[in-house]
Copies of this chain bind each other. A is one copy, B any other.
Protein backbone atom coordinates (compact mmCIF):
# COMPACT_ATOMS: atom_id res chain seq x y z
CA UNK A 1 0.00 0.00 0.00
CA UNK A 2 1.59 3.21 -1.23
CA UNK A 3 0.44 5.90 1.25
CA UNK A 4 0.68 8.70 -1.28
CA UNK A 5 -1.68 6.85 -3.61
CA UNK A 6 -4.06 5.80 -0.83
CA UNK A 7 -7.09 7.60 0.59
CA UNK A 8 -8.96 6.82 3.79
CA UNK A 9 -12.54 7.72 2.88
CA UNK A 10 -14.77 8.52 5.85
CA UNK A 11 -18.46 8.28 5.03
CA UNK A 12 -21.01 10.19 7.08
CA UNK A 13 -19.31 10.42 10.44
CA UNK A 14 -21.87 13.10 11.27
CA UNK A 15 -23.69 13.76 14.52
CA UNK A 16 -27.00 12.49 13.16
CA UNK A 17 -25.40 9.05 13.11
CA UNK A 18 -22.57 9.26 15.61
CA UNK A 19 -23.88 11.21 18.57
CA UNK A 20 -26.60 10.96 21.23
CA UNK A 21 -29.42 13.23 20.11
CA UNK A 22 -28.63 12.72 16.42
CA UNK A 23 -31.64 11.95 14.25
CA UNK A 24 -30.52 8.41 13.48
CA UNK A 25 -28.23 7.67 16.38
CA UNK A 26 -30.62 5.36 18.17
CA UNK A 27 -30.89 3.24 15.05
CA UNK A 28 -27.15 2.57 14.91
CA UNK A 29 -25.93 2.83 18.47
CA UNK A 30 -26.29 -0.89 19.15
CA UNK A 31 -23.94 -1.92 16.36
CA UNK A 32 -21.67 1.06 17.10
CA UNK A 33 -21.18 -0.21 20.63
CA UNK A 34 -20.45 -3.82 19.74
CA UNK A 35 -18.19 -2.71 16.91
CA UNK A 36 -16.45 0.34 18.33
CA UNK A 37 -17.12 2.24 15.13
CA UNK A 38 -16.04 5.76 16.10
CA UNK A 39 -13.04 4.92 18.29
CA UNK A 40 -11.82 2.55 15.60
CA UNK A 41 -12.26 5.23 12.93
CA UNK A 42 -10.23 7.60 15.11
CA UNK A 43 -7.47 4.97 15.26
CA UNK A 44 -7.63 4.51 11.49
CA UNK A 45 -7.25 8.26 10.96
CA UNK A 46 -4.28 8.40 13.31
CA UNK A 47 -2.60 5.53 11.48
CA UNK A 48 -3.37 7.14 8.12
CA UNK A 49 -1.96 10.52 9.12
CA UNK A 50 1.15 8.93 10.58
CA UNK A 51 1.79 7.12 7.30
CA UNK A 52 0.95 9.99 4.97
CA UNK A 53 -2.32 8.50 3.66
CA UNK A 54 -4.80 11.11 2.37
CA UNK A 55 -7.83 11.61 4.62
CA UNK A 56 -11.07 12.29 2.76
CA UNK A 57 -14.37 13.19 4.42
CA UNK A 58 -17.67 12.42 2.68
CA UNK A 59 -20.55 13.97 4.60
CA UNK A 60 -24.08 13.88 3.22
CA UNK A 61 -26.26 16.98 3.53
CA UNK A 62 -29.27 18.76 2.15
CA UNK A 63 -30.58 22.30 2.05
CA UNK A 64 -33.33 22.94 4.61
CA UNK A 65 -36.52 21.67 2.97
CA UNK A 66 -34.69 18.98 0.93
CA UNK A 67 -35.15 20.89 -2.34
CA UNK A 68 -32.58 18.62 -3.98
CA UNK A 69 -34.86 15.61 -3.60
CA UNK A 70 -38.00 14.29 -5.19
CA UNK A 71 -40.87 15.72 -3.15
CA UNK A 72 -42.25 12.18 -2.88
CA UNK A 73 -39.24 9.96 -2.20
CA UNK A 74 -39.33 6.25 -1.50
CA UNK A 75 -36.77 3.89 -0.01
CA UNK A 76 -33.82 5.08 1.99
CA UNK A 77 -34.09 8.73 0.91
CA UNK A 78 -37.63 8.76 2.28
CA UNK A 79 -35.99 7.65 5.53
CA UNK A 80 -33.63 10.62 5.43
CA UNK A 81 -36.45 13.09 4.88
CA UNK A 82 -38.77 11.38 7.35
CA UNK A 83 -36.23 11.68 10.16
CA UNK A 84 -35.24 15.24 9.20
CA UNK A 85 -31.61 14.16 9.06
CA UNK A 86 -28.50 15.79 7.58
CA UNK A 87 -29.81 19.33 7.16
CA UNK A 88 -27.13 21.89 6.27
CA UNK A 89 -26.39 24.40 8.99
CA UNK A 90 -27.68 22.16 11.75
CA UNK A 91 -25.65 20.32 14.39
CA UNK A 92 -26.82 16.95 13.12
CA UNK A 93 -25.08 17.34 9.78
CA UNK A 94 -21.75 18.41 11.29
CA UNK A 95 -18.88 15.97 11.31
CA UNK A 96 -18.43 14.50 14.80
CA UNK A 97 -15.85 16.39 16.86
CA UNK A 98 -13.50 13.39 17.19
CA UNK A 99 -13.09 13.31 13.43
CA UNK A 100 -13.01 17.03 12.63
CA UNK A 101 -11.21 17.55 9.33
CA UNK A 102 -7.60 18.65 9.79
CA UNK A 103 -5.73 21.02 7.55
CA UNK A 104 -4.78 19.19 4.40
CA UNK A 105 -7.71 16.78 4.59
CA UNK A 106 -10.08 16.80 1.65
CA UNK A 107 -13.76 17.43 2.28
CA UNK A 108 -15.95 16.09 -0.50
CA UNK A 109 -18.91 18.21 -1.60
CA UNK A 110 -22.20 17.31 -3.20
CA UNK A 111 -23.07 13.98 -1.57
CA UNK A 112 -26.87 13.78 -1.72
CA UNK A 113 -27.33 10.13 -2.65
CA UNK A 114 -26.05 6.98 -1.01
CA UNK A 115 -23.12 6.06 -3.22
CA UNK A 116 -20.45 8.65 -2.43
CA UNK A 117 -19.37 8.69 -6.08
CA UNK A 118 -22.62 9.58 -7.84
CA UNK A 119 -23.33 13.14 -6.87
CA UNK A 120 -20.00 14.48 -5.61
CA UNK A 121 -16.48 15.42 -6.59
CA UNK A 122 -15.07 12.25 -4.99
CA UNK A 123 -13.92 10.51 -8.16
CA UNK A 124 -12.70 13.77 -9.68
CA UNK A 125 -10.50 14.51 -6.67
CA UNK A 126 -9.23 10.95 -6.24
CA UNK A 127 -8.18 10.87 -9.91
CA UNK A 128 -6.56 14.31 -9.78
CA UNK A 129 -4.54 13.22 -6.74
CA UNK A 130 -3.57 9.92 -8.41
CA UNK A 131 -5.21 7.81 -5.72
CA UNK A 132 -5.24 4.09 -6.54
CA UNK A 133 -6.31 2.57 -3.22
CA UNK A 134 -9.35 3.58 -1.16
CA UNK A 135 -10.01 2.46 2.39
CA UNK A 136 -13.64 2.83 3.47
CA UNK A 137 -15.27 3.41 6.84
CA UNK A 138 -18.56 4.86 8.06
CA UNK A 139 -22.32 4.48 7.88
CA UNK A 140 -24.24 2.34 7.07
CA UNK A 141 -22.36 -0.91 6.62
CA UNK A 142 -24.87 -2.08 4.01
CA UNK A 143 -26.09 1.23 2.63
CA UNK A 144 -23.74 4.13 1.78
CA UNK A 145 -20.51 2.32 2.61
CA UNK A 146 -21.53 -0.71 0.57
CA UNK A 147 -22.75 1.34 -2.41
CA UNK A 148 -19.50 3.31 -2.37
CA UNK A 149 -17.47 0.10 -2.15
CA UNK A 150 -19.29 -1.43 -5.10
CA UNK A 151 -18.69 1.62 -7.28
CA UNK A 152 -15.08 2.03 -6.18
CA UNK A 153 -14.48 -1.55 -7.32
CA UNK A 154 -16.24 -0.86 -10.61
CA UNK A 155 -13.88 2.09 -11.13
CA UNK A 156 -10.86 -0.12 -10.55
CA UNK A 157 -9.71 1.29 -7.26
CA UNK A 158 -8.09 -1.23 -4.99
CA UNK A 159 -10.71 -1.21 -2.24
CA UNK A 160 -10.24 -1.99 1.44
CA UNK A 161 -13.15 -1.99 3.88
CA UNK A 162 -12.60 -1.45 7.60
CA UNK A 163 -14.93 -4.00 9.12
CA UNK A 164 -14.81 -2.58 12.64
CA UNK A 165 -15.16 1.08 11.64
CA UNK A 166 -18.61 0.75 10.05
CA UNK A 167 -22.10 0.32 11.53
CA UNK A 168 -25.65 -0.57 10.47
CA UNK A 169 -29.12 -0.43 11.94
CA UNK A 170 -29.03 -4.07 13.01
CA UNK A 171 -26.29 -6.53 13.87
CA UNK A 172 -27.64 -9.03 11.38
CA UNK A 173 -27.43 -6.81 8.34
CA UNK A 174 -24.04 -5.50 9.47
CA UNK A 175 -22.70 -9.04 9.78
CA UNK A 176 -24.25 -10.21 6.52
CA UNK A 177 -22.87 -7.34 4.46
CA UNK A 178 -19.38 -7.95 5.81
CA UNK A 179 -19.59 -11.72 5.41
CA UNK A 180 -21.20 -11.94 1.98
CA UNK A 181 -20.93 -8.69 0.03
CA UNK A 182 -17.75 -6.98 1.18
CA UNK A 183 -15.34 -9.67 -0.04
CA UNK A 184 -16.75 -9.61 -3.59
CA UNK A 185 -15.84 -5.93 -4.02
CA UNK A 186 -13.08 -5.26 -1.51
CA UNK A 187 -10.44 -6.63 0.78
CA UNK A 188 -12.04 -6.50 4.24
CA UNK A 189 -9.66 -5.81 7.13
CA UNK A 190 -9.87 -4.60 10.71
CA UNK A 191 -8.48 -1.23 11.67
CA UNK A 192 -5.61 -2.99 13.41
CA UNK A 193 -4.80 -4.94 10.25
CA UNK A 194 -4.95 -1.70 8.25
CA UNK A 195 -2.53 -0.04 10.66
CA UNK A 196 -0.24 -3.05 10.44
CA UNK A 197 -0.25 -2.92 6.65
CA UNK A 198 0.69 0.76 6.80
CA UNK A 199 3.58 -0.22 9.02
CA UNK A 200 4.78 -2.78 6.49
CA UNK A 201 2.86 -5.98 7.18
CA UNK A 202 1.91 -8.01 4.13
CA UNK A 203 -1.57 -7.24 2.82
CA UNK A 204 -3.30 -10.56 2.28
CA UNK A 205 -5.98 -10.69 -0.41
CA UNK A 206 -9.11 -11.19 1.71
CA UNK A 207 -11.49 -10.81 -1.22
CA UNK A 208 -13.38 -13.68 -2.84
CA UNK A 209 -14.81 -14.63 -6.21
CA UNK A 210 -17.96 -16.76 -6.26
Contact = CB atoms under 8 A, between A and B. Distances in A.
Interface of A: 24, 27, 63, 67-70, 74-80, 82-83, 104, 106-115, 118-121, 123-125, 127-130, 142-143, 146-147, 150-151, 153-156, 158-159, 169-170, 172-173, 176-177, 180-181, 183-187, 205, 207-210
How many copies of this chain?
4
A151 B85 CA distance: 22
B109 A184 contact: no
A120 B118 contact: no
A74 B128 contact: no
Given A115-B150, A143-B184, A209 B109 contact: no
Contact of A124 (B82, B106, B150, B154): B154
